[in-house]
Every structure is written in C-alpha cells, then in structure tokens.
Structure 1
Amino acid sequence: MNSIMNMLLNEQFLIAALTTLAVAATIVTIALPAFEGSTLKKRMKSVALEREEMRARERSRLAAAEKAKVSLRHEPKQNLRNFVDRLNLKDALVDEKTVAKLRVAGLRGQQALYTFLFARVVVPIILFVLSLLYFFVVFKTGHPAGIKIAFSLMVAMLGFYAPNIYVSNRTKKRQQSIRIAWPDALDLMLICVEAGMSIEAAFRKVAEEIGAQSVPLAEELALTNAELSYLQERRKAYENLAARTGLEGVKAVSTSLIQAERYGTPLGTSLRVMADENRNERMQLAEKKAAALPPQLTVPMIVFFLPVLFAVIMGPAIIQAMRL
C-alpha cells in the first residue's frame, strides 16, 4: 500500500500519467469521427415516431376520448422524476427561457428537462468530492485545509454551470449547421414548389435531401411537416420552426410563408427572394470571417514564428562570436 501511495504521489509518475492521458485523448479525438456513423437515420426515425404520436394525439382529441394524452416526447425515468420533484427543482431553476434554450439545442421534452436539472445538482457534488479527494489524498501539500476546501468549492461552482455550457455549445453547433445548409434548403424548396408540390410535400422532400448536409435541419423540417399536417393553425407550425432554430434567417422565411398563406401571394416568389437574401447573408458571413483572420494570426505569428526567425538569423552570428 505504501509503494502504491508513493507511486501516486511521485511527480514523475503524475507527469507521465497526465501526458499519457493527453496523448490518448488526442488520438481518440482525431480517430473518433472516422468511426462515428451517420446519425441521420436515427434522428429521422425519431421524428417519424413523433409524427405518429402527434397523429395519435390529434385523433384522441378529436374523438374526445377520456384517455391519457399521447406525449410527443419520451417520459423521464421514474427515479429521475422523483429526485427532481422531491427537491422542487423545476420551480427553482426552470423558467420559459430555460425550456426555450433546451429546445433550440435540440433537447425537447420532459426527459431532457429532467436530465438537465439532475445534472445541475449532481455534477457539482461529484466534482466537489473528486476535488477533495485530489487535494487531501493524492496531491498533498502544506496549504491549509481552508484553501483546499475553497478551491474545491470553486470547482463545484464550475460544475453547476457545466450543463449550461454544454447546452450553449450544442446550440452553437446546431445553429451553425442549420445556418450553412439553410440557403440550399430554400433553393430545393423553391424547385419543389415551382414543380407543383404542396408546401408539405416540399418540406418532406427537402428534409430527405438536405440530411446529408445538415442532420439538425432535416430533423426540423420533418417535424415542421408533421405539424403542418396535424396542428389546427398552420401559422403555429411556422412559428415553432423559427422558435426551435433561433435564427433570424429562418424566422424571416417563416414570417414570409405565413404572410403568403394569409394573403394568397405565390410561395415561389417569396421563397426566391428569401433564398437570395440568405445566400447573400452566408457569403457576407464568410467574408467577415476572412477579414477577421489576419488580426487573429498576428499573435500566433509573433509568439511562434518570430523567435524561430531570430534563432535562425542570429544563431550563426552568436556561435561565431562565442568562438572568438
């Protein structure tokens, strides 16, 4: 036991272990995308199941049967629900903005909400316990216990915000994927509408075709197609699409489609104008990133390139001066 503790407290062993962990994480990060399968079929299957459940719910409502309403989302596990309800976390940590953020991140339904609340409570506790074990058992120093506990509390506070950071990062990746593929989806939708398809058939066809470029956008379009078929107001389906994506370009297209159906204007004209605007917006965003690249490269060039240049240029002169 003493030899194991000495090995764990050895600085060289800790450095070697951390280096091995960093190398392994790098290899896994690089190799994981190559072995990761496509999630399109899985997400589209999930949307199809939601559509069937929506159909069952609408049939139940129209029939006025005294049965439980069919939920569009998977119900959370009973233990998870009991834990969250017992601590009354929904009233303490949840508001309309929280639900909207989860929806924009693609986390819909009660299961995602309960999991999010459970993580906000459990993750800080786990990180706090692991920090105490590290500071008091593994990495023993001469610092007072109060300082170690204070650092552990800081780590626990980071764990409290970790679920929010995860949702924020997931939202950014999802919106970026939708933003890039949205102009192409509008072009495909315009072709379908001008070919004589209805807007529901156009949404369904575009959802099938755009999945190779953006799985989140294909999922949202398929869900919008289902809502157009079974919601009482078609306007609500377009508004839900804009709310789930959280993008101004999608919101503008949704507003245009609502006005086109309300006033009877041709859908092809509205889609053509919106497609041009979104394509120009995507080009402007790319130009903005390209223009911001030189200032961002200034610091790396100063830190990494200039020392090497100085070493190459001044090195021979310094060596000759030392030989004199």
Structure 2
Amino acid sequence: MSGPSVEYFPSGTDALLTVSIGEMRFTSGDICILAIAVIAAALSALNLGRIAQSEGRQKRLLEVLRRDPGFCSKPLSTPQMPWYQSLGATVAATRVIGTAAQEKLLEALLAAGIKGHGHLAALLTAKLFSAILSVPLCWLVLEWRHFFVGASLIRLAMLLGAAVLGWRAPDVLLSRLAARRRTRLETGIPDALDLLVICAEAGLSLDHAIEQVSRALRSSNPEVAEEFASTAAEMRVSTLRDQAFDNLARRAGVESLRGIVAALNQSVKFGTPLSGALRAVATEMRTERMVRFEERAARLPVLLTMPLMTFILPSLMIVIGTPLALRISDMLARGP
C-alpha cells in the first residue's frame, strides 16, 4: 500500500485538491466532511465527559446536604448554562422529542445513576452529535469498501439508517449502565436490610437508621449508599416520608427494594414495629433468592447439553475409538 499523496488540479478559475491514500481518493469536499466528523466526535467525547463529571458534583452536593440541612434554603445565584446544556435545551424546546419521550429519557438517566434535569439536555446534545457523526462515518465506510457504487438510493437509505442508529446509541449505553447499576443494587440491598434491622432494634429512629446505613455502605456498595443518602436528604427537607420512599423505589428500579419501601411506608402510616416488618421482608427476600438459585440450577442440564455434544462427545469418541481403529487396521494388515 502506497503512502498518502496530495495532488492539485487547477481548472480555469476553480481548483481541485485531492488526497490519495492507497486506493481511496478524497476531494476537498470529502476532506470538509471528514473534518466535520472529527469535530463532532471531539464534541461528543467532551459532552460525555461533562456528564461523568456532573455525577461527581451530585455526590458532593449530597455530602453538603448531609452536613448542612439548611443549605438548600440559602439564596444562590443562577449559574449560566454550559453550551452543551443550552444546545440540548434548544432541541427539547423544538418539540422534536415529545414530553413522554423526555420522561422516558429522564427515567433512563435516573436508572443509570445520573440525576438532574440539566443532564437531560446534555444527553440530547450527545444524541444529536452521535447522529451527526454516524452519517460521515457510514459514508466513509461505503467509499472505502466500494459498497453500492452508483446506487444512490441505497446509499441514502444506509446513511439515514446510520443517523437513526447514532441517535439510539446513547440510549443503548444508558441501558447498559442502568443494568450494571441495578445488579450492584441487588447485591447490596440484603446488607442494607440487615443494617436497617440492626439499627431499628438498637432504638434508632427511621431517619437516623437510613443515614447510618448510607454511611456504613459508602465503601462496600456506593450505589446503595447514594440512594439511601438521597432518601435521607429528601426526608430532611420534606415532611412527606412516603413520597421519599416511593422516590427511592422509582430511582432504583429494583423489585426487592419495593418490599423494603412497602414495609417502611407501613411502619410510618400505621405505627407498626419497624424491626418486625423488616425481618419479614428479609425472610421473604431470602426465600425468593433461594427460588431463583434453584431455577438457575435446574436450567444447567439443559444448557450443558449442546456443549457436551459439541466438545466432550467428539473427544470421548476419539479417545475410545482410536485404539480400536488401530487394532482393526493392524489385523487387516497382517491378513488371515
């Protein structure tokens, strides 16, 4: 493969600049499209980095609320929105994305552990740049591999499909982050439940018990600690405890946590003993986990059938049949 070369073709008053890399030739228009793609990729990477930094700011805000409950009542100056949030807010204001779709995106952000309405605007900006970037990348692949040369309608359909896939790519990333976070929450909820039972039996109030659980799990399971810290902060600034518990279940999206929330709501509304209700939830949760483990163990023989037939049985037949085949060939070679 030859190295890159630059050619300049003057043609009257116009001039054509062509860059050749092997069999690929790029005109000045192609170079402009690639430059736009590179700029869009850089802006998308910067925007995703901003989203990651904002999650750290959310955790620091929870620490401030934990130390100073009256922090929210202090007058604050309205900050200027960053450019990526302004662009996302503009996209949301155009009503290209409906209110229901925006609510779903907010729920996806909450499930992934990213909180705040400003993050919705940042997500819309990331989706926009991802869709813009996917079009020149798809065109570059088509030109590089010489796919559908001359078929303009097929190429246009593929470019539109690439834009749609680019628009959906951040949603796929969010769903994976949410699934990973949900797994970590399910892992840490039994420990949180045991700590709640211990705190309730020790005589702590519900507010102090939730705060103690958030402190105790901060190093072992930060996701559960963050959710309980958010709930404790809501309980300090609001008198509606049941609403704070419902928000906890909605943010986490874990089925086992809904039982804990139901027990907490029952204890707050009817004054039932908290430790007894939590112990009943813990017993039910352990039973459900044992049932799930038994179901997984029952599926193992079915799942192992194909690997056994594909890998184990051929090897076993070779080990058993090779000596027999050698003896038969030896007997045939010797003759009667």
TM-score by length of 1: 0.73
User: AA paired with 2:86?
Assistant: N
Q: Which moved more, 1:93-102 or 1:104-113?
A: 93-102
Q: Aligned residue for 2:190?
A: 183
Q: Aligned residue for 1:158?
A: 165
- Out of 248, 251, 260, the position equivalent to 2:258 is 251
Q: Aligned residue for 2:293?
A: 286
Q: Relative to 1, partners in 2 of residues 1:51 and 1:3: Cα closer, same or farther, differing over 3 Å?
A: same
CA deviation map 1:233-262 (0-9, x unaligned): 111111111111112221222122112111
Give the conservation status (yes or no) of the 8 Å contact 1:260–1:266: yes
- Out of 26, 37, 55, the position equivalent to 2:70 is 55
- Return the alpha-carbon distance in structure 1 between the equivalents of residues 287 and 250 of structure 2: 23
Q: Aligned residue for 1:32?
A: none
Q: Aligned residue for 1:206?
A: 213
User: AA paired with 2:279?
Assistant: R
Q: Which moved more, 1:95-104 or 1:308-317?
A: 308-317
Deviation at 1:273, TM superposition (A): 0.8
- Return the alpha-carbon distance in structure 2 between the equivalents of residues 319 and 215 of structure 1: 66
User: AA paired with 2:22?
Assistant: N
The answer to whether the aligner puts 1:98 opposite 2:105 as a matched pair is: yes
CA deviation map 1:141-165 (0-9, x unaligned): 5744434444443333222221221
- Determine which structure has the larger helix proportion and give its number: 1
User: AA paired with 1:6?
Assistant: G
* Aligned 1:1-324 pairs, distance under 5 A: 2-4=2-4, 5-6=21-22, 45-49=60-64, 51=66, 55-57=70-72, 59=73, 77-88=81-92, 91-93=95-97, 94-95=99-100, 96-136=103-143, 138-140=144-146, 143-146=149-152, 147-309=154-316, 317=325
Q: What secondary structure is seen at the aligned counterpart in 1 of 2:244?
A: helix
Deviation at 1:126, TM superposition (A): 0.9
- Return the alpha-carbon distance in structure 2 between the equivalents of residues 318 and 126 of structure 1: 63
Give the conservation status (yes or no) of the 8 Å contact 2:231–2:245: yes
Give the conservation status (yes or no) of the 8 Å contact 1:131–1:152: yes
- Return the alpha-carbon distance in structure 2 between the equivalents of residues 6 and 239 of structure 1: 61
Q: Relative to 1, partners in 2 of residues 1:54 and 1:169: Cα closer, same or farther, differing over 3 Å?
A: farther
- Determine which structure has the larger strand proportion and give its number: 2
Deviation at 1:97, TM superposition (A): 2.9
Q: What secondary structure is seen at the aligned counterpart in 2 of 1:271?
A: helix
TM-score by length of 2: 0.71
Q: Relative to 1, partners in 2 of residues 1:132 and 1:192: Cα closer, same or farther, differing over 3 Å?
A: same
Q: Relative to 1, partners in 2 of residues 1:162 and 1:142: Cα closer, same or farther, differing over 3 Å?
A: closer
- Return the alpha-carbon distance in structure 1 between the equivalents of residues 257 and 167 of structure 2: 32
C-alpha RMSD of the superposition? 3.5
Larger Rg: 2
Q: Relative to 1, partners in 2 of residues 1:235 and 1:88: Cα closer, same or farther, differing over 3 Å?
A: closer
Deviation at 1:199, TM superposition (A): 1.3
Deviation at 1:307, TM superposition (A): 4.6
Give the conservation status (yes or no) of the 8 Å contact 1:54–1:230: yes
Specify which structure has the bigger relative contact order, considering alpha-carbon pairs within 8 angstroms and separated by 6 or more residues: 1
Q: Relative to 1, partners in 2 of residues 1:297 and 1:212: Cα closer, same or farther, differing over 3 Å?
A: farther
- Return the alpha-carbon distance in structure 2 between the equivalents of residues 210 and 112 of structure 1: 26
Q: Relative to 1, partners in 2 of residues 1:141 and 1:168: Cα closer, same or farther, differing over 3 Å?
A: closer
Deviation at 1:48, TM superposition (A): 1.3
- Return the alpha-carbon distance in structure 1 between the equivalents of residues 254 and 312 of structure 2: 39
Q: Which moved more, 1:99-108 or 1:236-245?
A: 99-108
